[in-house]
Chains A and B, each alone.
Chain A
Amino acid sequence: MAYVAARGGEAAILQSEQLHQLLNAPLSLATVRMIEASLPYLVDRVMGEGSLYAPELAALALAQTGGDLYEAVLLLRAYRSTQPRLAYAEPVTQTELLTVRRISASFKDIPGGQILGPSLDYSHRLLRLDLLDQDNQDRSAPAPPAATVSSDAPAGEVPPSYDPSPLAVADWQRSEGLLAAVPEVLPTDPASLPDLTREPADFPAPRAHRLQALARADTGGVLALGYASMRGYGLAHPTVNELRLAYADVRLRHPVTGEPFSIGRVRVSQCEVVNTQATELRLGYTATLGWNEVKCIAGAMLDLEMDAPQPHPAHSEEFVLYHTEPVEASGFCIHYKLPHYVTFQSGLDALRDARATATDAPTEPGDVQ
């Protein structure tokens, strides 16, 4: 590939940036705070793909880029590269999660119950045009009632107590003999896991690399490949075993006392899917920073597909992990906007040569003109 240097365009580049800002809302602290407070799922998506939990910075990145997701993720990753890694947190386990949503499509009755939590799954997908119409109505008209949480329980009845750390469905299945037991895992040094940010992926990838790559993968890319599996190009036809949205405490060890303490809570999501087509139940899994159900479901299905002996080429581990990396993929895509004049000129020269050669070539007897 060849490029030409861009020279003499500084004024135009500055003007271009100013025009970009002019056509977006003014960048202000209020805008950043508004995005952080009112668009948490978008902020979560940027943090998950940026692989950095920093809601304030993700909101800033969204405001700064006018909501261009890939640019926002790139900004977050770039900022991350300026920061030293100070610590490895204590590993987060399922039992420590403060779970606010937990559903299973495999079993109706799961220990701890089905908890819808914050969700629009069963709501009408209708635009609230009445909000827009308020401009044209008497502003003194009473506002629609605020949404309230209701339940199957009759009014006034205290809902059953909720255990925020219910037993994992997979653990229950193991206890029932539905899933193979996993060997006991000994505590490991949190700093000793394979880390994609420090070493390149090699295939077949260690499971820690695969799950880390899926955790930071592009939601759209994971969905596209996962959807291809769901539509029939895949070998697995799984069911959602358990989907969770939760808060996780980030626990660091105090350097003086050695005791772990929480520096705060972060939003996490995870999904298990279960395949019943094999001779035994098999699970696929994906988790990510922030609340992002689509990515976790599609990623868990791809986790199953990647384990198949002869996966569809688009579901091989190398294909999935390389092509769902958001910064590399979007970066490669947008690099085509950069001047390619030399490359194109070279191709054009070759085309002209080929045409000239074809014109000059003597006609063989029997050739049809």
Chain B
Amino acid sequence: MAASDHIVGRGPNAGARVFSGLMPRAEAVAIPLGALLAGFLAFSLFLLFLGKSPAEFYGLVWKAGFSSAFSWQNTLSRVAPLIMAALCVALPARLGLVVIGGEGAIVLGGLAAGVTGTHVAGPLGMVLMALSAMVLGGLWIGAIGALRIKRGVNETISSLLMAYIAIALFNHFVEGPFRDPGSLNKPSTAPLDAALRVGEMPFIAAHWGVAAGVIACVLCWILIDRTTLGFAARIAGDNIRAAQVQGLPVGPLVIGFTALGGAWAGLAGFFEVAAVHGSANASLIAGYGYTGILIAFLARHNPLAILPVAVLMAGFEASSGLIQRRMDLPDATILVFEGMVFIIILLSEALYGRLRIFSPGYWESR
């Protein structure tokens, strides 16, 4: 009582109190946004160095990604696999694991969906396809978590290497045992029945994977922020030893979270097969798993933040073509752009807790 009187008494105005409560929360928004802006600025310098106009660049990004109904269609139609791939990074990251091999779970999920799809029918068949994709993706990334816990294998290295194995296995099965004999020059699994294809959502010209991605993010946010399981996972992520001393089930948590992340990535593979390609083939290996890493880090592994960041990233990628055509820049331009933003975001991690304006004490002392 006396202490709070003391603080209020020293503050020159009531606003300071509001700031002292608000600013620590604002930190989580202001630093990533600031880093994003710094990334835009750094890339502008890069463009000026090349003799190109940054204004034209950002204008085209806006035009191609966000300016019209068609732009939004272009952006949203790419977003579903990105959201799910990002969850495959974000969930293990909450336990302190850096898993970068989501691509493997996506292609294996696609394979499982494609193969299951040739044996089932009807709406239940579609559910089975999705489940098989989630199970295989979950097993694949869950195994990485298990290797980490049981054998101390570095999950970053093992997930990356296992992604290569997954792609090799995928190619083997698509070109060998599960090849549709009719797919002569592009080995694929048998084409899916029309009843097993996922359609487009009403109002937005994007398939139902987008809705599934939004639901997945909300579920994961509830899991992490609103359940005791999520609380235990966050404790283990902050300090694994302390969590073990407290008797938290660190092993099952790690395996469970990695498996869940893998299951979402597997579901991305299912939607790619059932909504876009209509069969599993090498076109599935499109690098979504790697863009997902960038999105998860930008979102600071917060499932809800993944949604806007994934839309932003999809918009950037949607503009890649227009930038090639209008500015005569190579297609790698957008990758350089994303890379610069990514590095600055990583650097900005060092700022948390260091900027005095975000500490309650700074405002209280005014």
- Note whether A and B form a binding pair: no
